A = this chain, B = another copy of it.
């Protein structure tokens, strides 16, 4: 992971550009047509900037240099500091995932079949709603494509080697 300190420097610059713009993630999301979480991921180099989106991001954050935009279009090496689990917001999300994990899996099995929710063909957003008691609530939505486990039929495995003797 030789590029990790370079990545850290890029992120620092991107955060500075955002800070200078005075805009928050939701505003940039609205201007670029992206989810707020995805904008944040772009500015942390946890997602790749697509060529057709680059001009929109440049329009939202004019201080972004062409070099930065170029850098943002490389597929990143996705990573996180393991100590991030200490952060109370992150911990509580993790707590929910681990304590509810088996239930979520079984409902997916019942409703879709033997498969999973993709974390790659995946959308995430954070929203603010009012609860029944009128108090603010945070809504984190995870929306991923359903991927059924493939049945591994030999004839469907185009890469299959002809075994010895064949």
Using a CB–CB cutoff of 8 Å, the interface residues on chain A facing chain B are: 1-4, 8, 11-12, 15, 24-26, 29, 33-38, 40-41, 44, 46-48, 50, 53, 75-132, 135-161, 163-164
Q: Looking at the assembled complex, report how far the CB atom of A4 sits from the nearest CB atom of chain B, in whole angstroms.
A: 8
Docked CA distance A111–B139 (Å): 12
Q: Looking at the assembled complex, report how far the CB atom of A33 sits from the nearest CB atom of chain B, in whole angstroms.
A: 5
Report yes or no: B101 in contact with A80, Cβ–Cβ below 8 A: yes
Docked CA distance A94–B86 (Å): 11
Q: Looking at the assembled complex, report how far the CB atom of A158 sits from the nearest CB atom of chain B, in whole angstroms.
A: 5
Output the nearest chain B residue to A1 by Cβ-Cβ distance.
B81
Docked CA distance A113–B140 (Å): 16
Residues of B within 8 A of A12 (CB): 2
Report yes or no: B34 in contact with A154, Cβ–Cβ below 8 A: yes
Report yes or no: A97 in contact with B100, Cβ–Cβ below 8 A: no
**Among B41, B46, B143, which residue has its beta carbon within 8 angstroms of that of A157?**
B143
Q: Looking at the assembled complex, report how far the CB atom of A60 sits from the nearest CB atom of chain B, in whole angstroms.
A: 14
**Among B48, B86, B135, which residue has its beta carbon within 8 angstroms of that of A98?**
B86
Docked CA distance A8–B1 (Å): 9
Report yes or no: B100 in contact with A41, Cβ–Cβ below 8 A: yes
Residues of B within 8 A of A139 (CB): 141-143, 159, 161
Q: Looking at the assembled complex, report how far the CB atom of A85 sits from the nearest CB atom of chain B, in whole angstroms.
A: 7
Residues of B within 8 A of A164 (CB): 127-130
Q: Looking at the assembled complex, report how far the CB atom of A61 sits from the nearest CB atom of chain B, in whole angstroms.
A: 15
Report yes or no: A141 in contact with B141, Cβ–Cβ below 8 A: yes
